[in-house]
Amino acid sequence: MADLFRLERSASWGDVLVGVEQLEEHVGLDEPGLARAFNGWLVEVIFPRLGAPPDEIPKGLTLKELTAMLAERIDSWNEELREESRQQGRQEGRQEGEAKALLRVLERRFGPVDQATRDRVAAADADLLLEWIDRSQTADSLAAVFSG
């Protein structure tokens, strides 16, 4: 039971690998039905939570085979997660830069910008920010930038 809780709380692929190894040790090969049930739970619940591509996990593996597969693929999955995090960080950085640029343009064209407008700009997605930046070039008022 402790192995299941440990796996449920795993925050990284390394944690999962250690948990699966411990689970394999405690379940043993003499209980194949139980091992298959644990395997199914790992593949259907734990792996997707950590971002494992479903097509990379063969169905019907034993815990021993699953442990070997994890050890083999863990580095590539971790690298994919790191790359996704970097891309997300870059996107968030671009959006923050666009929001900051828009606020600067608005202040120069229309004077001080109230907090509600600042909050609205901060909450906007990238496409909407670009639309507002375009409108800010020709709008005759702050309200006109956000209308439409």
Predicted pLDDT of residue 17: 78
**Quick one: tokens of 36?**
């298959």
Can you give the pLDDT of all 148 residues of the chain as single tens digits?
677 788 888 887 778 878 877 877 777 656 677 767 777 777 777 777 777 776 777 676 666 777 777 777 777 777 877 888 899 899 899 999 999 999 999 999 999 999 999 999 999 999 999 999 999 999 999 999 998 6
For 33, 37, 73, 137, the CA distances from 125, given in Å and listed in that order, are 49, 43, 34, 19
- Could you give the angle at which helices 63-110 and 32-41 cross, rounded to 10 degrees? 10
Q: Give residue limits of the domains in the chain.
A: 2-87, 90-146
Write down the pLDDT at residue 145: 95
Does the predicted TM-score (pTM) go above 0.85?
no
Closest to 60 measured CA to CA, from 79, 81, 39, 80: 39
Residue 29's pLDDT is 55
